[in-house]
């Protein structure tokens, strides 16, 4: 970040230190030292001017036991927005540490969607206690938000919006906004509704500002409206915002009536979360906030995935065990066999990654699946041939046996073809079956490429070399 701080000549200059991102390692260290030596006032002073998002980052960067100390040091002055900015794991820890009435006071100050976000992971009893300590009006809004399914549009929408009838003039709109009793803090468009409160158009603020007072809203409104049903999945919402470059969108209930709005800043958070999920799942990590959990907890959340992999590794071993006599006779096979399996695994992972990504971005659909499938098969074939040649030459020269080179070459072609086919087919079929391809495809794929890799190489060896 680079705030403009006027220098001696009064000229604005971007801050050069670390791009101006406020949470420097030095700041983290200073705060940490102040807390360690029990100087809460010093710690509070150090963080006093931080933006909520930066303060959240700083708290996350502290060791777990210092986080509570800093929150205590800040006390009632804590900006509630900080709670909404935390990673889930850290938020849960901090929230547990707060008194229910303090948490209720913080939640009441947040936007409805942020308050729901903060409270959604609390245990039922605890959550009720916090909700009961909130002012009735705020509580009802948060309860309504929490009544929508997790990850639905209802959870990320704000109940505040600006809606006007189509027959109003821009002058009416401006006067009404200026009276300003019920106007939300944040809005980027004016929604136009019919008498049943069904949205029929939208007026971007810049267009409203340029229109003259007597102009009717209906004349300048954009009637090509993208509405979001309240039960729409948030991933779908993010797609719509991205696809149509929206800044905000009206949310409608089952009868098509306007009940809230979603703004692009919330959608950016959704996009980040979904990406994080996809990336971590492909890497075999299923838990959010993994970085912030204690070691024992992290180890246990990662254990499941490793256990699944132990089974697939044992499957591969069983495949090898079938050829134990072959290996006894030609021990060079034991040296070379990981090459075939490893190349298949890597080629398959390439295809799988492209496929998972293309499914997420909707570039891969039923419409082009067959074409992509044949393409990936051909890619597997081309690279299978190339690496058959390379691996064949290496193996043939290394062990001074042309036939061993032929065997590894043939096995390579088989396994690279299998890798191309299954790297595309496995995630695609999982997706069609309603299963998240990011988490389950990798393990299925590597099982296939390991087993086929060992089987093809050792099987061909016993056929050809013995």
Strand partners, 309: none
CB of 31 closer than 8 Å to CB of 47: yes
Q: Which of residues 310-349 bind a copy of itself (CB under 8 A)?
A: 310, 312-314, 316-317, 320-321, 324, 327-328, 331-339, 341-343, 346-347, 349
Supply the minimum distance, in Å, between the C-beta of residue 38 and a copy of itself.
20
Candidates 125, 180, 181, 182: give the one binding a copy of itself (CB under 8 A): 180
Candidates 104, 217, 262, 354: give the one binding a copy of itself (CB under 8 A): 354
Candidates 152, 383, 415, 462: give the one binding a copy of itself (CB under 8 A): 383
Asked if 387 touches a copy of itself (CB under 8 A), the answer is yes
Supply the minimum distance, in Å, between the C-beta of residue 79 and a copy of itself.
13
CB of 421 closer than 8 Å to CB of 377: yes
CB of 262 closer than 8 Å to CB of 270: no
From 36-44, 101-109, 126-134, 199-207, span contacting a copy of itself (CB under 8 A): 199-207
Site string (84-103) toward a copy of itself, x via CB under 8 A = ---x----------------
Asked if 36 touches a copy of itself (CB under 8 A), the answer is no
For residues 136 and 366, which CB has a smaller minimum distance to a copy of itself in the complex? 366
DSSP alpha helices (H): ranges in 75-214? Answer: 81-85, 88-97, 100-109, 112-119, 124-132, 136-147, 153-156, 170-179, 205-210
Asked if 208 touches a copy of itself (CB under 8 A), the answer is yes
Asked if 415 touches a copy of itself (CB under 8 A), the answer is no
Residues with Cβ within 8 Å of 89's Cβ and at least 6 positions away in sequence, in order, are: 288, 289, 290, 292, 293
Residues with Cβ within 8 Å of 159's Cβ and at least 6 positions away in sequence, in order, are: 112, 141, 144, 145, 259, 260
Q: Which of residues 43-62 bind a copy of itself (CB under 8 A)?
A: 51, 53-54, 57, 60-62
Supply the minimum distance, in Å, between the C-beta of residue 136 and a copy of itself.
27
Strands (E), 188-277: 189-193, 199-204, 228-229, 248-252, 258-263
Instruction: Give the chain's end-to-end CA distance (angstroms, integer).
Output: 68
Torsional class of 14: left (φ above 0), alpha (ψ -120 to 50), beta (otherwise): beta
Q: What is the DSSP string of 329-347?
A: H-THHHHHHHHHHHHHHHH
From 67-75, 98-106, 116-124, 241-249, span contacting a copy of itself (CB under 8 A): 241-249
For residues 123 and 179, which CB has a smaller minimum distance to a copy of itself in the complex? 179
Secondary structure letter of residue 149 according to DSSP: P
Supply the minimum distance, in Å, between the C-beta of residue 76 and a copy of itself.
23
Q: What is the DSSP string of 14-67?
A: E--GGGG-S--HHHHHHHHHHHHTT-HHHHHHHHTT--HHHHHHHHHHS-HHHH
Supply the minimum distance, in Å, between the C-beta of residue 125 and a copy of itself.
31
For residues 209 and 402, which CB has a smaller minimum distance to a copy of itself in the complex? 209
- Give the binding-site size for a copy of itself (rule: CB under 8 A): 150
Supply the minimum distance, in Å, between the C-beta of residue 52 and a copy of itself.
9
Asked if 28 touches a copy of itself (CB under 8 A), the answer is yes
CB of 341 closer than 8 Å to CB of 454: yes
Site string (105-144) toward a copy of itself, x via CB under 8 A = ----------------------------------------
Asked if 63 touches a copy of itself (CB under 8 A), the answer is yes
Of 412, 407, 439, residue with least CA distance to 345: 412
Composition of the chain by helix, strand, coil, percent to 5: 65, 10, 25
Supply the minimum distance, in Å, between the C-beta of residue 28 and a copy of itself.
4
Candidates 100, 154, 199, 427: give the one binding a copy of itself (CB under 8 A): 199
Asked if 276 touches a copy of itself (CB under 8 A), the answer is yes
């Amino acid at each position: 970040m680079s705030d403009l701080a006027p220098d001696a000549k009064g000229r604005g200059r971007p801050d050069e230190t670390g791009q101006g991102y406020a949470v420097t390692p030095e700041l983290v260290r200073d705060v940490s030292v102040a807390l360690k030596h029990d100087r809460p006032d010093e710690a509070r002073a150090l963080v006093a001017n931080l933006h909520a998002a930066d303060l959240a980052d700083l708290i996350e960067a502290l060791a777990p036991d210092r986080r509570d100390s800093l929150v205590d040091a800040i006390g009632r002055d804590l900006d509630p927005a900080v709670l909404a900015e935390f990673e889930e794991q850290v938020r849960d820890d901090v929230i547990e540490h707060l008194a229910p009435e303090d948490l209720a006071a913080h939640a009441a100050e947040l936007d409805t969607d942020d308050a729901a976000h903060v409270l959604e992971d609390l245990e039922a009893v605890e959550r009720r206690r916090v909700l009961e300590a909130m002012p009735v009006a705020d509580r009802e809004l948060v309860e309504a938000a929490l009544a929508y399914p997790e990850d639905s549009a209802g959870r990320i929408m704000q109940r505040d919006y600006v809606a006007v009838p189509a027959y109003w003039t821009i002058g009416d709109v401006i006067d009404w906004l200026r009276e300003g009793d019920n106007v939300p803090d944040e809005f980027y468009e004016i929604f136009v509704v019919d008498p049943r409160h069904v949205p029929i158009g939208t007026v971007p603020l810049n267009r409203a500002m340029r229109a003259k007072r007597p102009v009717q809203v209906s004349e300048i409104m954009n009637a090509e409206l993208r509405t979001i049903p309240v039960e729409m999945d948030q991933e779908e919402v993010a797609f719509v915002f991205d696809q149509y470059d929206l800044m905000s969108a009206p949310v409608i209930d089952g009868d098509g009536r306007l009940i809230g709005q979603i703004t692009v800043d919330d959608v950016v958070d959704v996009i980040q979360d979904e990406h994080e999920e996809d990336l971590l799942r492909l890497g075999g990590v299923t838990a959010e906030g993994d970085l912030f959990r204690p070691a024992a907890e992290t180890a246990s959340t990662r254990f499941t995935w490793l256990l699944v992999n132990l089974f697939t590794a044992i499957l591969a071993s069983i495949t090898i065990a079938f050829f134990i006599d072959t290996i006894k006779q030609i021990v060079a096979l034991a040296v070379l066999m990981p090459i075939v399996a490893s190349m298949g695994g890597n080629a398959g992972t390439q295809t799988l990654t492209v496929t998972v990504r293309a499914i997420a971005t909707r570039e891969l659909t039923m419409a082009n699946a067959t074409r992509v499938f044949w393409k990936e098969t051909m890619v597997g074939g081309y690279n299978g041939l190339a690496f058959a040649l390379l691996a064949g030459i290496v193996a043939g020269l290394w062990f001074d046996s042309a036939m061993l080179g032929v065997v590894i070459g043939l096995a390579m072609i088989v396994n690279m073809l299998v890798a191309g086919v299954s790297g595309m087919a496995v995630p695609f079929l999982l997706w069609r079956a309603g299963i998240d391809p990011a988490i389950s495809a990798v393990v299925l794929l590597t099982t296939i490429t390991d087993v086929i890799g060992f089987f093809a190489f050792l099987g061909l060896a016993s056929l050809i070399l013995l």
